[in-house]
Amino acid sequence: MIQSRAQVTVRYAETDMMGIVYHGNYLPWFEVARTQLLREQGFPYRQLETDGYRIPVLEVAAKFICPALYDDTLTVVATIREKPLLRIRIEYEIFRGEELLATGHSAHAFCDTKGQPTRPPAAFVAKMSEMFPSQGVERGL
């Protein structure tokens, strides 16, 4: 399992007139945590793009449990539970302190600059094999 934590503070522009975060604003927070997780593993998005890779979103979902409010400091936890190869599934949890506000997941695939599916960089495959030594190949993610 690979996990990362990112903090965000709810901006006024992310809320409605009641000071409650609009649901569409959770997806950028997922992205903040996802890019931090990849960066911490040695694969910043900018470098992947420079190397000719794209990682488009194939699927995304969110479940809202309790609203986030203006000026809340939130912790977004991103987790990869299974060894990714061609596809990556990342799970998210958003907390205000100890209180769970939302959960979600996203699925991504490696593509070339023309949008065609491709194998990830060899360094990525090696790192994932190191992080998930007991898991074989990806199964239907």
Active site residues: 16
CB 92 within 8 A of CB 116: no
CB distance 2 to 79 below 8 Å: yes
Give the whole-angstrom CA distance, residue 117 versus residue 4: 26
> Could you identify the residue written with the tokens 């939130």?
74
Give the tokens for residue 25.
Answer: 């604003």
User: Residues with Cβ < 8 Å from 65, sequence gap 6 or more?
Assistant: 100, 101, 102, 103
Q: Is 86 exposed, middle or buried (0-12, 13-18, 19+ CB in 10 A)?
A: middle
